[in-house]
Each structure stands twice: as structure tokens, then as C-alpha cells.
Amino acid sequence: MTDLPDLLPASLPVIDPAERAGYADHPPRLGFFTDTSVCIGCKACEVACKEWNAVPDDGLLLTGMSYDNTEQLSATTWRHVAFIEQIGSRGDGPPGPDGSPGRLPGAADGWPGAADGTRWLMASDVCKHCSESACLDVCPTGALMRTEFGTVVVQEDICNGCGNCVSACPFGVIARAETDGGAHKCTLCYDRIGDGLTPACAKACPTESIQFGPVDELRDRARERVGELHESGVTQARLYLDNPQDGIGGGGAFFLLLDEPEVYGLPPDPVVTTRDLPRMWRHTAAAAAGLAVAAFAACLHGARERS
């Protein structure tokens, strides 16, 4: 997977989600590029997000698994910094795309901490603001909507807490709050970007690991960055969700990772469920028709019995 960016043609047909949602004249699509190679795990993004959006706290709990005590994105956590400690020999890594024997990257590539085969991975996760959003598709109330910036937000005054979006999200991002019963997630600071401000997390990030801007520009910048890293020997760097032809039409928020996505708790090849919905409806219609035929057949004989 490390050479995936090189396999991509230079220009791809790109879904314009805002246009598809009916915005005739709209500003450029805005999003995040999270470059985890410079993340220091400070969690300033988590705090800034909570402060700006007035999201309730999650309590002080120690997970005991790593320095990550936030654990996951939730209704009350819209930025989550994952922390992964990889210790010791890594001969048991996943096999390379060409079938080469598995070797987790880092052991002999000059990465800090590589001498004893130990490294720390840190990554700030967030809603992906998919080009094809399952949460938005399945929402029965229209509470989830596409903004003019191509982002996805929940209208809190409309959501009735049905929970359908929670099961539909391929990343486990959106969740229902115990407190008010409604679904909540990152808004990409809809109330800031409309006024030309940077979202709180990106503003607070001290290392520019979280970069905010027009998605087109961010994609170019991300490809440049991954090229730089490859040149300097960090061959395990790869982009995640930057490809407009992937299973979600590309993310409005995408990432530069230093290991397989699943190591960070991300699905390696997510596909929006609604791509299969036409087939589901066809099969449902066939089953409904079959049910009617079965009822008819079951009763047809009854008339003969009585006659």
C-alpha cells in the first residue's frame, strides 16, 4: 500500500458534493488534511474542539491501553487523538502489497526510536465528511444535511434520535448522546468557516498536523508531502481517503498515515452502504411480491376446499 499514491493518475473525476446537493453557486469545498507524521499527540485539537463547540466532557477515565484516554470519537468527542506504541521486533507485520514478507515499517529506516524497534504513532481522527455520506443518505428526518462547503452537519433541532446514522457510518464517527438523545458529530466548525475562520482544532494545532483549506489544494499539498517523506526514506507514509474514486468518493477530511489504517482504528477499504441500496430495494420488492403470491397460493386452495 505504500506506493498507492504513485499508482493514481494525476487527475481524477471528482464528485462535487455541494453541487450534487443542489447548491448551484457555492464556495470551494473545505476540509482537513491531517498529516500524522508531525502529530505530537498533545490533544490541543480535542480541547479546542470541546471549548469552541461547548461539547460536554467525557469524565476522567484511564483506559490503561496507551496514553490515549479518549479512546474513540463519540457524540461528545469530535476530535480524537489515537496513540499507538509499537514495541520490539516487527517481523509479524502484514505482508506487502507485492506479497513480500511482513515487516512493520520503522525498524531499519532511520525513524526516531528505530534502534530498539520501538515507535509511537499519533493521529488526530475526525469525521471524514465523505463525498458520499451514508449517515446523510439514511437519515429519515433530513436532520443531517450537506452544507454549501460540501461538509456534513447535524441540525440538532430536527434530529429525533432514531440512531440510523450511527449504524450507517463506516468509520464509527457519529454517535447518539445519552444526555439529549440526539446524534452529534464534527461540524467542521460550520459556525466559523462561514465567517472565514479556521476550525478550532486546526487553529489550535501547534505543529500544523491538522491543515484546513480547500480540498483541492489540500490534496495537492498532501501528495507533495508524501513524496517528500518517501524521498527522505519514510517509505511507509501513505495517504488515506484522498482518492475521489474510493468507496466513499474521497473524504473531505483525509490523512497521511505511517502504518495500515486499521492500526489507527480506521477501516482499510470503507465503502458507503448506499451503493448497494438499489439492489436491496430490488430484492425487497421481489420478496414483497413473493409474499403476496404465497398468500394468494395459500388461499386459492381454500376456495376449492369449501366449494
Partner 1 sequence: MSDGGPARRGGGPGRAGRGGEEPVVPRARPDSYYGRPVLKEPVWEAENVASYLFFGGLAGASSLLAAFAQLTGNRELPTVSKVAAAGAIGLSVAALVRDLGRPARFLNMLRVFKVTSPMSVGSWLLSGYGPAAGAAAALAVTGKLPRAGAAATAAAAALGCGVSTYTAALICDTAVPAWHDGHREMPFLFAGSAASAAGGLGLLAVRPEHSREAARFAVLGAAAELTAKSLMMRRLGAASEPYQTGRAGKLMETGEVLAATGLAGAVLSGRNRVIAGLAGAALLAGSVLTRFGVFEAGRASARDPKYTVAPQRERLAHAAAAVRPDT
Judged by CB under 8 A, the chain residues 6 through 45 that form the site for partner 1 are 7
Instruction: For partner 1, give the closer residue by CB, 132 or 192.
Output: 132
Residues in the chain: 307
d(CA 163, CA 218): 32
Q: Which residues make beta-bridge pairs with 32?
A: 212, 253
d(CA 16, CA 259): 29
Q: How many CB atoms are closer than 10 A to CB 174? A: 28
In the DSSP assignment, the letter for residue 187 is -
Sole binder of partner 1 in the list 55, 107, 175, 186 (CB under 8 A)? 175
Sole binder of partner 1 in the list 93, 105, 150, 249 (CB under 8 A)? 93
Query: What minimum distance in Å lies between the beta carbon of 142 and partner 1?
Result: 4
Angle at CA of residue 281, ends 276 and 283, nearest 5°:
95
Phi and psi at 134, nearest 5°, equal -65, -40
d(CA 94, CA 148): 41
Q: Which residues make beta-bridge pairs with 35?
A: 256
Sole binder of partner 1 in the list 31, 60, 99, 254 (CB under 8 A)? 99
d(CA 275, CA 281): 11
Instruction: For partner 1, give the closer residue by CB, 136 or 218.
Output: 136
Judged by CB under 8 A, the chain residues 285 through 304 that form the site for partner 1 are 286-292, 294-303
Query: What minimum distance in Å lies between the beta carbon of 1 and partner 1?
Result: 8
d(CA 84, CA 208): 20
Query: What minimum distance in Å lies between the beta carbon of 286 and partner 1?
Result: 7
Query: What minimum distance in Å lies between the beta carbon of 117 and partner 1?
Result: 11
Question: Longest C-alpha distance within the chain, in Å?
Answer: 90
Instruction: For partner 1, give the closer residue by CB, 52 or 86.
Output: 86
Judged by CB under 8 A, the chain residues 108 through 147 that form the site for partner 1 are 134, 137-143
Instruction: For partner 1, give the closer residue by CB, 195 or 305.
Output: 305
Instruction: For partner 1, give the closer residue by CB, 28 or 247.
Output: 247
Instruction: For partner 1, give the closer residue by CB, 141 or 207.
Output: 141
Site string for partner 1, 249-288 (x = CB under 8 A): -----------x-xxxxxxxxx--xx-xx-xxx-xx-xxx
